[in-house]
Amino acid sequence: MQTTLVIVKPDGVQRRLAGRILVRFEEKGLQIAGAKMMTIPLATAQKHYKPHEAKPFYPGLVKYMTSSPVLVVALRGKNAIAVVRKMMGATFGSKAEPGTIRGDFAISDGYNLIHGSDSEEAAAFELGLFFQPGEVQTYDMADTPWVYDTSSDLR
């Protein structure tokens, strides 16, 4: 099982899409291990987007991400990072396939609704940036055998 970070960005919150986005992950079978609404502090946004610091879009990205509340979520499941990335769709809403979150809800190439960690290393770093110890929970879900097909136990 992997745990990954998802951020419903300011445009997703302002457009009242946070719940609809979160439901899609839950319906897929991913577990909400942590969630909180917050306005990202400037220093945190700068740390989060440090790899883009030298790029021309960096100042605008940091300003955008600190402009309004976001929903920060820790999602857990089998191959959670790849599953979330696929569900999000292409980075630019105008290029995202229908059926993906961005393909269904975004058309802007700048405001793309959602962030998801792109690797296990990034997920560990980002989860540590946005959640304090104890805020990401570990618990059993009653439907896990049905979500992950443990039917081999029945044979």
Q: Which residues are catalytic?
A: 115
Is residue 123 within 8 Å of 143, Cβ to Cβ? no
Q: Where do we find the tokens 């059926």?
A: 99
Angle at 114 between CA 111 and CA 119, to 5 degrees: 125
Q: In sequence order, which residues have a C-beta less than 8 Å from that of residue 87 and are 6 or more positions away?
A: 24, 25, 28, 100, 101
Beta bridge partners of 8: 71, 114
